[in-house]
Structure 1
């Protein structure tokens, strides 16, 4: 996959694109407030990583809608495996995620040089794969566009099943369904926990982004 991504987008050592999407659920009887997301409805926050061919490589469908996208990933075993070096390669994320040596995103701001702008274009182009994957998932299983009338635990299992079946469809090269715009949450990396380590990780991520922009764009 790393070779394909480099040939298509010019991004080195990238193994996937990460993002989150929300699936509506009924207000649960317990911890109801934790499921109210920033758009003021109850949901499950589904985090996922996909490849350049729209396959889901990893997902988490157990977090309540109030949870931040970055937390869904940061508290996963997968994050620890990337951070410890057990998994080699980089992920591409949006502004919701903290830049780290293994997770890169666009350069913010308007005062960017040409290499940074070219890098940003490549990041956005590849990151669209995960947005399209969520759209394809919800078009194939249209119940995920409506409200799942189940407990959070049951809804989580249904979402997981839908993702697994979506991968089967991708593997069989089944045609996509009609286009429908996916709801987008403009989320930001606003967490302040473990401030010292977070600042170190951000600096490491920024350096990685600078090296890629300078050497490849």
Structure 2
């Protein structure tokens, strides 16, 4: 088969998955029933966090060919061109949300601030759902609906125990990136997708759909496919949290870790 035929097939299949399967297979919990089910999955996980957690969030870089327009925006802090892809998953590594629209120079917190999921979480909080959280690393801002670690806490203190539990509970999202890139090698740093950023985002979406299908069907054991080490960002978000977010965090620490 010629290279042009392969390329047309890839474009057609990727477009079909994005148009007909993506919204159904990669779905953030929107209804009360779905949110309760997500809470129960986290509560029964090997490393649970506090009640109310429905997802772990993080970003990963997908290497791309230098685009012709705004090339500098795609150079990430590691020095290569990429998309910075935000994902949210549950403890089983099921992908709940994908945002593959931002260039590599955009930081995780910026992508989150522009995320539709953030608006959903904020709206739920404003109508009274105050026991609903995502968990992220220190690159994200502390918000009433997004719990993040505290820096430099003495070992054995309640805040240290909170950090420890949060980091263990959000480990699945880091494992997810390893599983995805071990399965779909085109997403790994050792490969470079030779497409424009828009189509690269569609490829990421398609791989996410296929990942969730494989997970549902039990086609692989995820523990055996975590083969690519992950390089964590060293950025620490310096924005001052709101008093409401700090109060909620303090309440969780007092109720669950004292």
The question of a shared fold, defined as TM-score above 0.5 by the shorter chain, is answered with yes
Residues 1:161 and 2:209 are matched in the alignment: no
Q: Tell me the CA shift for residue 147 of structure 1.
A: 0.8
TM, length-normalised to structure 2: 0.76
CA distance in 2: counterparts of 1:181 and 1:99, whole angstroms: 27
State the partner residue of 2:169: 126
Q: Tell me the CA shift for residue 113 of structure 1.
A: 5.8
RMSD of aligned alpha carbons: 1.8
Query: For this pair of structures, how many residues does the alignment match?
Result: 209
Q: Any conservation in 2 of the 1:107–1:116 contact (CA below 8 Å)?
A: yes
Residues 1:27 and 2:82 are matched in the alignment: no
Residues 1:80 and 2:123 are matched in the alignment: no
CA distance in 2: counterparts of 1:29 and 1:206, whole angstroms: 43
Further displaced range: 114-123 or 24-33:
114-123
* Paired residue secondary structure (1:61): strand
* Paired residue secondary structure (2:170): helix
State the partner residue of 2:108: 69
State the partner residue of 1:189: 237
Where does structure 1 lack aligned partners over 5 or more consecutive residues? 193-198
Where does structure 2 lack aligned partners over 5 or more consecutive residues? 1-37
**Higher RCO (Cα < 8 Å, 6 or more apart):** 1
For residues 60-97 of structure 1, give each alpha carbon's deviation from its aligned partner in whole angstroms, at most 9, with x where no partner exists.
00100011101111112211111122794100000110
State the partner residue of 1:100: 143
Q: Any conservation in 2 of the 1:104–1:208 contact (CA below 8 Å)?
A: no
Q: Tell me the CA shift for residue 32 of structure 1.
A: 0.3
Q: Tell me the CA shift for residue 171 of structure 1.
A: 0.9
For residues 75-132 of structure 1, give each alpha carbon's deviation from its aligned partner in whole angstroms, at most 9, with x where no partner exists.
1221111112279410000011000000001111134662111111110101101000
Q: Tell me the CA shift for residue 10 of structure 1.
A: 4.1
Could you say if the C-alpha distance between residues 129 and 75 of structure 1 is closer, same or farther in structure 2, counting changes exceeding 3 Å?
same
Q: Tell me the CA shift for residue 178 of structure 1.
A: 5.5
State the partner residue of 2:160: 117
Could you say if the C-alpha distance between residues 78 and 28 of structure 1 is closer, same or farther in structure 2, counting changes exceeding 3 Å?
same
Q: Any conservation in 2 of the 1:20–1:45 contact (CA below 8 Å)?
A: yes
Report which of the two structures shows the higher radius of gyration computed on alpha carbons: 2
TM, length-normalised to structure 1: 0.89
CA distance in 2: counterparts of 1:112 and 1:75, whole angstroms: 35
Q: Any conservation in 2 of the 1:47–1:59 contact (CA below 8 Å)?
A: yes
Q: Any conservation in 2 of the 1:48–1:60 contact (CA below 8 Å)?
A: yes
Q: Any conservation in 1 of the 2:153–2:159 contact (CA below 8 Å)?
A: no
Q: Tell me the CA shift for residue 2 of structure 1.
A: 1.0
State the partner residue of 1:57: 96
